Structure 1
Amino acid sequence: MNDSKTALTLLIAAPRGFCAGVDRAIRIVELAIEKYGAPVYVRHEIVHNRYVVDALKEQGAIFVETLEDVPDGVPVVFSAHGVPKAVPAKAEERGLEYVDATCPLVSKVHRQAERLVEKGQHIVFIGHRDHPEVVGTFGQVPPGAMTLVETAQDAESVEIPDADNLGFLTQTTLSVDDTIEIIDVLRRRFPNINAPRSEDICYATSNRQDAVKAIAASCDAMLVIGAPNSSNSLRLVEVAEREGTSARLIQRATEIDFEWLDGVATLGITAGASAPEILVREVVDWLAERFDITEREVETTREKMLFKLPRGLEAA
């Protein structure tokens, strides 16, 4: 042991980092570049991670916020968060070739929304205003067919014209605990509300939150590697704090505040679903320069989910 370095135990949560939907979305952009040649335009960040976006830019991806920013005659990829129906319709109108990288679990929520509206039900949608996934889901149904609820307080006060003809759906990247609380309020106020047949919060979001809960009590502090606009990463910080552990979100190792680690003997580390493992290793290496680290991975479940690529890209 090196006596000049303070001992620091790292508890590394597993699962962490990339989920199947993120893996698939990144692969879609890479294969689109292989198939069509650079540049390939991507509407919105393919996933919410600066490192990933920059790596794809180097390969020939150009990220834009609207379809108007995509010139004629070039292919465009829609991000993993999903887009309103009007976007592919507009792309078709312009004759643009497009590839939809929407996560299949988000697409499942889109289809559920359509089915509820077809049945004549109003939808209470639990999610975060202006998040691209929420914007995309609202864009699957006619205006006014869905009402957004963000908090349990919203659920207490929301007014629904036909309370007996109601269903709810949720964003896939929410806090499991917060969502249960909101659903409990909705069920109390609207006893006939229709629930989705299966959980909308995606398996990866739930698993990463469970992994944080499993180590939080043993940690003096926790670092969550992810982007400030990544909903699932922000939820991991909240989960750690709810478990009584001080937690911070960082994008890269250089953002670690060593003063904040004063007195920390055991540090938890996890990564949001759009953060690559290379950033976890970067953080561990950065800490190893300052501390005498002991590293231990704590695995709560093993993920085996794989999603197929869109037709036309498999061959690439």
Structure 2
Amino acid sequence: MDNTPEVKPAPKLFPLIVERLRVEHYSQRTEASYIAWIKRYILFHDKRHPRDMGAMEVAAFLSYLATDKQVAASTQSQAKSALLFLYDEVLGQTLPTLENVTKVAAKKQLPVVLSTQEVQAILSRLDGNMWLLVSLLYGSGLRVMECLRLRITDIDFAKLEIFVRDAQGHKNRITLLPASLVNPLKAHLQSIEALHIADLAKGFGEVWMPASLAKKYPNAGKDWVWQYVFPSSRLSVEQQSGVVYRHHADEKPIQRAVKKAAAHAGIKKEVSPNTLRHSFATHLLEGGYDIRTVQALLGHADVSTTMIYTHVINKGGRAVSSPLDVT
């Protein structure tokens, strides 16, 4: 009888990465991004296993992105975060300081900000759900994906608050709900509830839940309160589990709609959905609100990030008089 202990094959890498990402409550968007960067890293080094590589190979890949691919600083930073996660959280290997990395210099640019008249001009050229969504971007200072990931339970009509779940940096925050959007939002939710009831009647009606919440509330995926405020128009099947979900809407139509509305309004600025968030912050500061309050509403970890909007206020003479006009 052979008493040689059975040697189990090492678990495959990518299922381990996905499992760890979900344990740490990373978003699906971040999960897809990290997986893509790790695959590019492995292919760059001729399909060598990451455990057989280390700081030198990571530095070489990041430098390649900077010199050969000429990526933006934020792109290189994202790739670095993905690889550090791979080594620290999945492989259990703490990399030494990454030296000799060619870093992309971040371009310091002031955010594009619209006037209140320009914001209204854009909103007047939108209607329906698109008008409501873009109004929330400006009225609540939300990022596009924060708005799309809102769930019914995140809206507090009594307190006029919005709970922003797992925002940038995996932090939660509370921002304001404009009183003028209460009735339009309630009307919108009535139609969404009807769609959810129809999904349930067909045997569907489930929404994706973060791993921690899914474990705590196993059947919550079909509850009304956990449905997305802005759901997708169609159902989709998750490849790994085969579960049919109704995810949130896609951000690309929003980007196109905002750009188109700005062009039709004759606005000669590079306008994106995030421009409305920048305008929210700037207009609050112009209105005399404390910068710490604005920082909290935006979810900035450091007030220095919020300070950039004070430069936008001063630019163009809104807070500073030209000496030509004084004399």
Tell me the TM-score range normalised by the shorter chain. Answer: under 0.3
- Structure with more of its chain in helix, by fraction: 2
Structure 1 or 2: more strand by fraction: 1
Asked which structure has the greater CA Rg, the reply is 2
**Greater RCO structure (CA 8 Å; 6+ sep):** 1
TM, length-normalised to structure 2: 0.26
